[in-house]
Amino acid sequence: MSGTPALRAEPAEVWITGIGLATSLGEGLDANWDALNAGRINVDEKSFAPYVVHPWTQVNLDTQIPKKGDQRQMEAWQRIGTYAAGLALESAGVKGNKEILGRMDMVIAAGGGERDIRVDTTILNAQAKGNAAPGFLNERLMSDLRPTLFLAQLSNLLAGNIAIVHGVCGTSRTFMGEEVAGVDATRIALARIAAGQSDIALIGGSHNGERKDLMLLYGFGDYNLKDKFAPVWERAEHPGFALGSAGAFLVIESKEHALARGAKPFARLTRVVSDRSPRRKTGEITASLRNLWSGLGELRDGEAIFTGATGAEPVTSEERVFLGEHSGYAVRSTGTRFGHTLDTQFALGLGLAALSISRGSLFPPGDSSGVEIEMSKPPSQIVVVATGHWRGEGMALVEAVS
């Protein structure tokens, strides 16, 4: 298990002071909050049939990415992320603050590579027609690929675009590796602030689920939800995840740093832990989650758990065993409401947890499976869970600032 260190007698307390959400439910905190409370889910069963997706809510990109030239240099996943990052900076009250942005650390979780499907299909067809002379692929790629497409595919260019558009230019690190990359990016950003290696950081990620190349990748493993939407907890007979499009970013900083600039916290980010279960035998995922839970510190009964459970099997069933051991907690699935956004799902869960704590309530259960129960009191602790569809487990404890 990897965890936040307690290396000093008093590690810095870390606050979440900014949240940026641009999802299938809308843009900004109010739109997402209202949709969650209304039980609204934005799901599209037709455009990519038989695959189900949670499409991004189109926004006026100009408000966060003013230069059209910048927008053109990005593919959708980068635009979504750069947009959401701008919202987070605005929410934290640091947008345009050159002094702070110039020393802000970025740890981002990213996938990459939106491919040009048309080019890929044309080449594969021509090869099948027997036009595959030596050098055919070279020639097609040299002439058909847009020269700057590569930059829109590179994982670290999400951070690069955020630096260019918003001026976040302290340090920049991009973690890759699906769901748990989002956990580890948060874990290390938190560890650095707690230890005094950093004062303020932008964390998060973005995902475009409306991509057939991703459906192919996950299709190899039969992970895609097909035909009909169902809440994550009601997919046992029909497992899989519906890809979602979302950008989720948070500004986290030491309490001292926040107080000094008069920033208000949404919540405290207390601890982040992650691990890699080998997943050779049934029960190993459940055991890994139990172990991570025990590493979170003092947890009070009757609080809440926000999970990014995917709906894929056998992992979701293993996670349900773990959740069943904490039946007094109000569980909320981000997968049901936003689809699966891989490396972005954990930041999405963190953002919603901090938002729920700051608003003093939880949005209602999302289905009748019994996994998600009502919560009548204001949440003061929310555990955010990420269980990778193939690898990696992680958790965070988000708490009310006392």
**Residues of this chain, 272-291, that bind another protein according to CB under 8 A:** 274-276, 278
Q: Is 217 in the site for another protein (CB under 8 A)?
A: yes
Min dist CB 4 to another protein, Å, is: 8
Q: Judge residue 62's burial from the number of C-beta atoms within 10 Å of its C-beta, 0-12 exposed, 13-18 middle, 19 or more buried.
A: exposed
Considering only residues 89 through 148, tell me which ones interact with another protein, judged by CB under 8 A: 106, 110-113, 115, 117, 120-121, 124-125, 127-130, 133-139, 141-142, 145, 147-148
In this structure, are residues 154 and 168 in contact, taking their beta carbons and an 8 Å threshold?
no
Candidates 76, 151, 287, 373; binder of another protein (CB under 8 A) is 151
Total count of residues recorded for the chain? 402
The Cα angle at residue 323 between residues 320 and 329, in degrees rounded to 5 = 145
Closest CA to 254 of 197, 299, 296, 295: 197
Site pattern 18..57 for another protein (x: CB under 8 A): ---------------------------------x------
Please identify which residue in 17, 64, 73, 341 interacts with another protein, judged by CB under 8 A: 73
Nearer to another protein, 35 or 168 (CB): 168
Q: Compute the least distance from the CB of residue 67 to another protein, in Å.
A: 12
C-beta separation of 148 from 73 below 8 A = yes
Residues 6+ apart with CB under 8 A from 182: 109, 175, 204, 205, 342, 343, 344, 345, 346, 347, 386, 394
Binding to another protein (CB under 8 A) within 298-337 occurs at: none
List 392, 395, 398, 399, residue binding another protein (CB under 8 A): 392
220 near another protein, judged by CB under 8 A: yes
CA distances from 9 to 131, 346, 351 (A): 69, 29, 29
Of the candidates 65, 80, 85, 188, which one interacts with another protein according to CB under 8 A?
188
- Nearer to another protein by Cβ, of 118 and 262: the residue is 118
Q: For residues 35 and 386, what is the distance between their CA atoms, to the nearest angstrom?
A: 23
